[in-house]
Amino acid sequence: MSSPPADTPRDTFRTSAPRRRRPEWAGRNYTLLTGAAVVTNLGSHGALIAASFAVLEAGGSGGDVGLVAAARTLPLVLFLLIGGALADRLPRHRVMVAANALNCVSQAAFAALVLTGDPQLWQMMLLTALCGTGTAFFNPAAEGMLLSSVSGEHSNRAFALFRMAMNGAGIGGAALGGAMIAAIGPGWVLAVDAAAFAVAGALRAFLDVSHVPGRAPGGGLLADLREGWVEFKTRPWLWSIVLQFSVVVAVVGAAEAVYGPLVARDQLGGPAPWGLALACFGAGTIAGAVLMMFWKPRRLLLVGTLCVFPLALPSAGLAVPLPVWGLCAVMLVSGLAIEVFGVNWMTTMHQEIPEEKFSRVSAYDWFGSVSMLPLATALAGPAETAFGRTPALWGCAALVVLGTAVVLLVPDVRRMTRKPPKPTAAVPPGPTATAPAEAYDTTV
Q: Which residue has the higher pLDDT, 60 or 333?
A: 333
Contact 264, 271 (CB under 8 A): yes
Q: At 237, is the pLDDT very low, low, confident or very high (cuts 50, 70, 90)? A: very high
Query: What is the model's pLDDT at position 146?
Result: 82
Q: Which residue has the higher pLDDT, 10 or 63?
A: 63
Closest residue by Cα to residue 366 from 159, 129, 80: 80
Contact 27, 427 (CB under 8 A): yes
Q: At 23, is the pLDDT very low, low, confident or very high (cuts 50, 70, 90)? A: low
pLDDT(337) > 90:
yes
Query: What is the model's pLDDT at position 219?
Result: 61
Task: Determine the Cα–Cα distance for residues 170 and 10; give it in Å rounded to an integer.
Answer: 46
Sign of the CA dihedral 261, 325, 247, 88? positive
Task: Determine the Cα–Cα distance for residues 289 and 336; give it in Å rounded to an integer.
Answer: 8
* pTM of structure: 0.69
Query: What is the model's pLDDT at position 109?
Result: 93
pLDDT(434) > 50:
no
Query: What is the model's pLDDT at position 241?
Result: 94
Mean pLDDT of 34-52: 87
Closest residue by Cα to residue 100 from 129, 79, 70, 131: 131
Q: At 238, is the pLDDT very low, low, confident or very high (cuts 50, 70, 90)? A: very high
Query: What is the model's pLDDT at position 201?
Result: 92
Residue-wise pLDDT tens digits, 258-317: 888 888 888 887 777 887 888 788 788 889 988 988 888 989 999 999 999 999 999 999
Residue-wise pLDDT tens digits, 76-126: 778 888 888 888 787 888 889 999 999 999 999 999 999 987 888 888 999
Q: Which residue has the higher pLDDT, 128 or 353?
A: 128
Chain mean pLDDT for the chain:
81
Mean pLDDT of 122-145: 88
Task: Determine the Cα–Cα distance for residues 308 and 321; give it in Å rounded to an integer.
Answer: 21
Query: What is the model's pLDDT at position 377?
Result: 77
Q: What is the dihedral of CA 211, 133, 45, 169, to 10 degrees?
A: 10
Query: What is the model's pLDDT at position 162?
Result: 86
Query: What is the model's pLDDT at position 13?
Result: 40
Query: What is the model's pLDDT at position 152?
Result: 62
Mean pLDDT of 69-76: 82
Helices 271-294 and 28-57 meet at what angle, rounded to 10? 160
Q: At 12, is the pLDDT very low, low, confident or very high (cuts 50, 70, 90)? A: very low
Mean pLDDT of 337-358: 86
pLDDT(171) > 90:
no
Mean pLDDT of 212-240: 77
Q: Where are the alpha helices (DSSP H) in 117-235?
A: 121-148, 155-184, 186-204, 221-233
61 burial level (CB within 10 Å; 0-12, 13-18, 19+):
middle
Residues in the chain: 444
Q: Which residues contact 437 (CB under 8 A, 6 or more apart)?
A: 139, 242, 245, 249, 365, 366, 369, 370
